Amino acid sequence: MEQKEKNFFIQEIDVEHICREFGTPLFVYDADHIFNQIQTFQKGFEKGDLKIKFACKSLTSLSVMKLMKSYGTGLDTVSIPEIKMGLMAGFAPDQIVFTPNCVDFSEIEQGVDLGVRINIENISNLEKFALKYGRSVPCSIRLNPHVAAQQHASKVEEWHKQSKFGISAFELETVKQIEASYNLDIQGIHIHSSSVIMSSEVFINGAPVGFDIAMGFKNVEFIDFGGGIKLDVGDGNKVIDVVDLGKKLDVKFQEFCTAYGRKLELWFEPGRYLVGNSGVLFAECVVRKTNGYKEFIGLNTGFNHLIRPMFYNAYHGIINVSNPDGDLKPYNVVGNICEIDTFAKDRVLNEVREKDLIAILSAGAYCYSMASTYNSRYRPAEVLVINGKAKLIRKRDTFEDLIRNQVEIDIS
Ligand code: LLP
C-alpha cells in the first residue's frame, strides 16, 4: 500500500501553527504558488501578445483579486457582483471581461455602465445590444464552434451538441447581419471550450476554427481561448504541458495575425490552472468509526465546504499532516453533513487518529467559491500565505451571518 500524495505546497511553513492560530476547517492559499503558475503559463508565449484574465469564479476573493492585479493579470467575470469586486480590488474597467451566461439583458446594460468589456453569448442579447448601443460600445462574441472538448465529468461539458454556451457557429450569418445592420464594433472572438481539458489538441485544433471565424470580422483585436486547463491533481489523468501548448499556439497565432493583417492579442481566462493547486483545505479528524466493512475518518468539514468529489466525482489528494510516518491504511474520508458526504473512498493514508490534522489538496479552485452553509454550518475562514506570512482574507461565518437575511414573521 502506498500513499500517493507526499507533498503539498506549504511544506516549508508550519501549517499546524496556522491551523492553531485560525482554527479549522481552514482554506489556505499560497501566493508564491499562484505566481509560479502565472509565470509558467506565460513561458510558452514568447511574442508577448498573451493577456491572462483570471477567472475569478474559481476563487472569488478581494485579496486574491488584488494579488492577481499585482501579478499583472486581468479579470474574467460572470456576474455584476464579480465585476464590482474586481473594480474594488483596483482593476481598471477595461482589464475586466464580462461573459455572463443566459442573463437578462439588463445585466449586460449594467456591465456597460460599469465600463467593462462585454462578451455576448446569444443572439437575443446581441440584437438588444446592437439596437441599444450600435457602434458606440465595442463587444466580443462567445462562439460555440462545435469542436468537442475532452473532460472528466459530463456535468461540466460545455461544448458540442449539448452545450448551452455561446453563439452556435451555425448562427454566424445572423451575427454578421446584425453586425452589418447596426455597424457593430466586434473586437473579440471568444471560444472557451470547457473545463478540465486534458489535451493540448483541444486548443490546437480549436484555434484554426476560431481564426477562420475571426477572418470574417473586420475589427478583431483579440482572440480569447477561455480557460479550462486541467491540473495535475494526482488522479493519474494526463495534463497539458502549458509551455509546449504556448509555443505551439504562439506560432499558429502569429501566422493568423499575418494573414489577418494586424497584430492581435491572445487572451486566456484560466481559473483552476492558477489557483487550483495553490490551495489546501485543512480539517481535523473528529471521529473514527467502522461499520464492520469500512474504516471511516470523520472530518470537521463536509461537502458544503468542498463539493467537488460529491458533485463531479472529482479527485482531491488527502494527507494526514499530523502523522506522516504512521502505518498506511485505507479509509473512507467523510464529512459531517447529514447525508452521504464522502471526500474519498478506500483512500490510503498514514494512520489517522482523532485530532489529527488532515489536508485536502487542490482546494484553491471551485471549493470556497462553491461552498454553502447547508446544515447551517459556518463556511470556513480563508488565509493567504504571502511573503512568508499567513494573512486572514476571510473570516469564518458566524451565527449572525446565518440569520442575517432571515425575516422572522409573526405566526399567530
Ligand atoms: N472562462 C469561462 C467562460 C468559463 O466558463 C470558465 C469556467 C473559465 C474561463 C475558467 O475555467 P477554468 O480554467 O477554471 O477551468 N465548478 C467546476 C468548474 C466549472 C468551470 C466553469 N467555467 C469544477 O469545480 O470543476
pLDDT value of position 202: 83
Q: How many CB atoms lie within 10 A of CB 236?
A: 8
Confidence class for position 160, pLDDT limits 50, 70, 90: low
pLDDT value of position 147: 66
Q: How far apart are CA 368 and CA 353, in angstroms?
A: 26
Mean pLDDT to the nearest integer, 124-131: 98
297 pLDDT higher than 90: yes
Pocket test for ligand 1, best of 51, 57, 308 (most atoms within 8 A of CB): 57
Mean pLDDT to the nearest integer, 174-187: 97
pLDDT value of position 156: 47
Told to judge if 257 belongs to the known catalytic residues of this protein, a careful annotator would answer no
Q: Is 404 among the domain residues?
A: no
281 pLDDT higher than 70: yes
Q: Is 157 among the domain residues?
A: yes
Annotated active-site residue in 102, 285, 338, 367: 338
Tell me the three cell numbers of residue 75: 479579470
- Of all residues in the chain, the percent with pLDDT exceeding 90 is 83
286 and 157 in a single domain? The answer is no
pLDDT value of position 196: 73
Mean pLDDT to the nearest integer, 185-213: 87
CB-defined site of ligand 1, < 6 Å: 55, 58, 76, 99, 156, 192, 195, 226-229, 269-273, 308, 312, 365-366
Mean pLDDT to the nearest integer, 121-136: 97
Confidence class for position 7, pLDDT limits 50, 70, 90: low
Q: Which residue has the cell 479527485?
A: 315
176 and 217 in a single domain? The answer is yes
Residue type, 226: G
Give which of 348, 366, 298 is closest to 2, Cα–Cα. 348
pLDDT value of position 389: 94
223 and 305 in a single domain? The answer is no
168 and 75 in a single domain? The answer is yes
pLDDT value of position 381: 98
Q: How far apart are CA 190 and CA 360, in angstroms?
A: 34
The answer to whether residues 188 and 220 touch, using CB atoms and an 8 Å cutoff, is: yes
- Of all residues in the chain, the percent with pLDDT exceeding 70 is 93
pLDDT value of position 84: 99
User: Residue 2, exposed/middle/buried by CB under 10 A (0-12, 13-18, 19+)?
Assistant: exposed
Q: Is 410 among the domain residues?
A: no
Query: Could you report the per-residue pLDDT of 318-347, keeping only the tens digit for each?
Result: 999 999 999 999 999 999 999 999 999 999
Q: How far apart are CA 166 and CA 187, in angstroms?
A: 16
Confidence class for position 11, pLDDT limits 50, 70, 90: low
- Axis crossing angle, helix 172-182 with helix 123-133, rounded to the nearest 10: 10
Q: Is 231 among the domain residues?
A: yes
Q: Is 121 among the domain residues?
A: yes
Q: Beta strands 26-30 and 279-290: pairing type?
A: antiparallel
Confidence class for position 131, pLDDT limits 50, 70, 90: very high
12 pLDDT higher than 90: no
Q: How far is the CA of 53 from the centre of ligand 1 (A)?
A: 12
97 and 218 in a single domain? The answer is yes
pLDDT value of position 144: 86
Segments forming the whole domain that contains residue 331: 8-28+276-398
Q: How far apart are CA 51 and CA 203, in angstroms?
A: 16
**Nearest CA residue ID for atom 10, ligand 1:** 227
- Tell me the CA distances in angstroms from 75 to 64, 99, 117, 190, one per residue in order: 11, 11, 10, 15
**Nearest CA residue ID for atom 16, ligand 1:** 366
Q: How far apart are CA 279 and CA 231, in angstroms?
A: 13
269 and 282 in a single domain? The answer is no
The DSSP code sequence of 243-302 is HHHHHHHHHHHHHHHHHHTS--EEEE--SHHHHGGGEEEEEEEEEEEE-SS-EEEEES--
pLDDT value of position 159: 47
Pocket test for ligand 1, best of 195, 203, 223, 306 (most atoms within 8 A of CB): 195
Angle of CA points 196, 201, 205, to nearest 5°: 120
pLDDT value of position 199: 81
CATH code, domain carrying 374: 2.40.37.10
328 and 191 in a single domain? The answer is no
Query: Could you report the per-residue pLDDT of 218-251, keeping only the tens digit for each?
Result: 999 999 999 999 999 999 988 989 999 999 999 9
Q: Is 411 among the domain residues?
A: no
Residue bearing the bigger pLDDT, 9 or 277: 277
- Tell me the CA distances in angstroms from 128 to 104, 115, 176, 219, 294, one per residue in order: 10, 18, 15, 20, 58
CATH code, domain carrying 253: 3.20.20.10
Residue bearing the bigger pLDDT, 194 or 257: 257
Could you give the number of structural domains in the chain?
Answer: 2
211 and 85 in a single domain? The answer is yes
268 and 296 in a single domain? The answer is no
Residue-averaged pLDDT of the chain: 93
350 and 224 in a single domain? The answer is no
Q: Which of 225, 257, 275 is the last residue of a domain?
A: 275
Q: Is 405 among the domain residues?
A: no
pLDDT value of position 158: 46
Q: How far is the CA of 58 from the centre of ligand 1 (A)?
A: 7
Q: Is 224 among the domain residues?
A: yes
- In the three-class reduction of DSSP (H, G, I as helix; E, B as strand; rest coil), residue 64 is classed as helix
252 and 369 in a single domain? The answer is no
190 and 240 in a single domain? The answer is yes
